[in-house]
Amino acid sequence: MSKGNYDPTRKHLNFEIVPGGKVRPIDTSRNIPERIADILDRRGIKDPNEGLIEPKYRTVVNIIFGGSRERMHELAFGTQKVDFEKGADNTRIKRKSDIERWAKDVYSFVCGRYGEQNVAAFIVHLDELNPHVHCTLLPIKDGKFAYKEIFAGKDKFEYSARMKQLHTDFFAEVNTKWGMERGRSVAETGARHRTTEEYRRMLSEECTSIEQQIGRHQEVLSTLHSDIRLAERRVKGLTSMVENLKREQAEKEAQLSALENDMDARKGDALALSAEKEKLEKELAVIQGKLADKQEKLQTADRQLSDLKENMEAIEERTEQLKEEAYEYSRAVHSKVDSLLKDAMLENMVDEWRELSARMKPSERQLFDGTIVRSVAEQGTEVMHCATLLFLGMVDDATTFAETHGGGGGGSDLKWGRDDDEDNRAWALRCMRMASRMMRPAIGKKPKR
């Protein structure tokens, strides 16, 4: 395993926290999806994605908790010398109690914030470069999935604020106690905010890093598959040897029993029978010695095969988690690029409109009266704000805003509201059209609620 990746010789250090804040070895009998299914079944909650060809709802949240690398190593390993280089053997390393106490504090923090009943898994990884907690949460409130209410908020700004607050609270309630320093914020350093391109690059680098980890995990899986095949052949060979030796043992025991019967019945020469018995007993002892040796080796081979399969399952599960993280980052990258392109397109459209409209005759300019193009080009900020209020169902606020910002003349006396079968895109477009009318400089009626 190359530096910075999964180290199977430290796998024995991993553990999980279960309800009640108890530390125990990781339960490998069920994977995370199976645990989640059990929780939902026990609580009588239906997975909203069940039966859908492609999942539409966010039903799982994965959060990584950690700290500064040096301090986390100190909590996990104390003063022990851990070798992070490729192929190193760290089986001698012992887990320190401080990492368990830190993990319990993190568990209490998570349970206090999101509810212990919503923690599907709380696994502490000490077999990677940075010791950390991988917490799998179910965003459930009042018996229903509520990801947006609990995590996302109404928009990306609220989501960002919530994540910053989570970071702040975690540092204050947990990591400060353990002597860790928090990363400095933009406000503290005076650094400028990331541009969209910088943010896109950061996400792209995250994707690349995750993809590299996945690639290395897949290399390890390939090696493990080979090791497992060799181990299976060894188990098969030893099993065959044990069966053959048991058969030989049974044959010798049968011969010895028949010979003892002959001796009891005084059949044949007594000295010859006695010599034959001694010979059979020696041969039987040799077979029993070989059998005991092969049985012990078979038990060892079985354990090794079982360990290899457990390692493979652990890496496969972590690889799937990484793929999910890569997918989320990839979506974020595409979303940011999409937003950047739309912003650039809108800005270009506004500039072109202003340039063209300046050369138009009044009669030509009138052709664009009442269009979204003209409204956005001339009152882009106001139209967008008014449309946002309408989209959120804040009709009175949208009307007041329009009337106090030079508009208010293009309302409608038709009932206003979102149709039951109307998707976000269609609803957003209708809100833009209504906002464009409402920002016209005349007095009119507001849409009915």
What three-state secondary structure class fits 409? coil
Q: Work out the widest C-alpha separation in the chain, in whole angstroms.
A: 136
pLDDT value of residue 444:
45
Six token digits for residue 336: 């940011």
Query: What is the distance between the alpha carbons of residues 219 and 128, in angstroms, rounded to a whole number?
Result: 16
Q: How many Cβ atoms from other residues are within 10 Å of residue 41's Cβ? A: 11
Residue-wise pLDDT tens digits, 406-433: 776 555 555 678 888 888 888 888 888 8
141, containing H or E segment: strand 140-141
pLDDT value of residue 435:
85
Answer yes or no: is pLDDT of 186 > 50.
no
Half-sphere exposure of 9 (CA within 13 A, CB side): 14
pLDDT value of residue 114:
93
Query: What is the distance between the alpha carbons of residues 30 and 38, in angstroms, rounded to a whole number?
Result: 10
Query: What is the distance between the alpha carbons of residues 308 and 301, in angstroms, rounded to a whole number?
Result: 10
For residue 114, give every residue at least 6 positions away whose Cβ sits within 8 Å of its Cβ, in sequence order, or none. Answer: 137, 139, 150
The angle that helices 395-404 and 372-391 make with each other, rounded to 10 degrees, is 140
Q: How many Cβ atoms from other residues are within 10 Å of residue 34's Cβ? A: 10
Distances (CA, A) of 322 to 155, 208, 213, 319: 26, 11, 8, 5
125 phi and psi angles, rounded to 5 deg: -100, 120
pLDDT value of residue 239:
92
Q: Measured at the alpha carbon of residue 328, what is the angle toward residues 324 and 331, in degrees to the nearest 5?
A: 135
Q: What is the mean pLDDT of the chain?
A: 80
421 burial level (CB within 10 Å; 0-12, 13-18, 19+): exposed
Answer yes or no: is pLDDT of 279 > 80.
yes
pLDDT value of residue 19:
94
Place 345 in a pLDDT band, splitting at 50, 70 and 90.
low
pLDDT value of residue 438:
86
What three-state secondary structure class fits 379? helix
Domain boundary assignment for the chain = 8-189, 215-336, 362-438
| Fold (CATH) for 215-336 | Helix Hairpins (1.10.287)
Answer yes or no: is pLDDT of 306 > 80.
yes
Answer yes or no: is pLDDT of 25 > 70.
yes
Query: Per-residue pLDDT averaged across 361-384, rounded?
Result: 75
For the whole prediction, is pTM greater than 0.85?
A: no
Residue-wise pLDDT tens digits, 110-165: 999 999 999 999 999 998 888 888 999 999 999 999 888 888 877 666 777 788 88
CATH class as words, domain 8-189: alpha beta
pLDDT value of residue 92:
94
More confident residue, 350 or 409: 350
Answer yes or no: is pLDDT of 60 > 80.
yes
For residue 75, give every residue at least 6 positions away whose Cβ sits within 8 Å of its Cβ, in sequence order, or none. Answer: 67, 96, 98, 99, 102, 131, 178
Are the C-beta atoms of 366 and 413 separated by less than 8 Å?
no
Radius of gyration over every alpha carbon of the chain, rounded to an integer in angstroms: 35
Place 344 in a pLDDT band, splitting at 50, 70 and 90.
low
Answer yes or no: is pLDDT of 246 > 90.
yes
Query: What is the distance between the alpha carbons of residues 193 and 182, in angstroms, rounded to a whole number?
Result: 19
